[in-house]
Amino acid sequence: MNTQERNEKIELYGRGVELLKAALKEVPQEAMKFKPEPTEWSVHEIIIHIADSESNAALRARKLIVEPGGVFMGYDQDQWALTLNYHDQNFEDALETTRLVRKTTYELLKQQPEEVFTHTAKHPEYDEPYTFEKWINIYSGHIPGHIEQIKENVRRYASK
C-alpha cells in the first residue's frame, strides 16, 4: 500500500463513527435487539462488539507504534458477546467508547512518521507477521462491514 492509499484508509477509519451513526438512524428501535438467527448478532450486540473490538484495535495500533515485534492478545468475539451479555450493556456508552477510541487513534495515526507503518507484531491467529498495513486494512473496513450487517438485520427484521 502506498502513502496515498494508506492515508485514504486512515481517513475512512476516521469517519467510521460518523458513518455508523448515520446508519443507526435508519434502524427502528424495535429492531435493535432482533437476532436474524440465534447465532447471529442483533444491532445492539454489533454496537457493543464494535466498542470492544475498537478498544482492542487501539491497543494494537499503539503496540505496533511503540513495541514493534511485540505480541497481541487474541480474543474470541463470540464468547465475549455471550459471556459479557451484550444485550445488557449500555448502547450509548458503547457508541461513546467507539467515538473516543477512534478519535484518539485516528489523531495518533496521522502524527506517525512513515517508518512506523513498516512495523509488525505477532498475532495469535496469524502465522505470518501482523503488519501495520493489515491493521489499517482491517480497521478501516471494520465499521463499514458492520454497517452492511446492520442493514441486512433491518431488511430481515422488516421481512419477518
Which CATH number goes with the domain that contains 132? 1.20.120.450
Give me the mean pLDDT over the 125-140 stretch. Answer: 94
- Number of domains present in the structure of the chain: 1
Q: Which residues pair with 122 in a beta bridge?
A: 71
Q: What is the pLDDT of residue 62?
A: 97
Q: What is the pLDDT of residues 83-106, one digit of tens each?
A: 999 999 999 999 999 999 999 999
Distance CA 54, CA 85 (A): 18
Query: What is the residue type of 58?
Result: A
Over 80: is that where the pLDDT of 160 sits?
no
Cβ neighbours for 128, distance < 8 A, ≥ 6 positions apart: none
Q: What is the pLDDT of residues 5-21, one digit of tens each?
A: 999 999 999 999 999 99
Q: What is the pLDDT of residue 1?
A: 87
| 15 grid coordinates | 469517519
Query: What is the residue type of 102?
Result: R
Residue 142: which domain range? 3-158
Q: What is the pLDDT of residue 121?
A: 97
Distance CA 132, CA 10 (A): 12
Query: What is the residue type of 37?
Result: E
Q: What is the pLDDT of residues 43-52, one digit of tens each?
A: 999 999 999 9
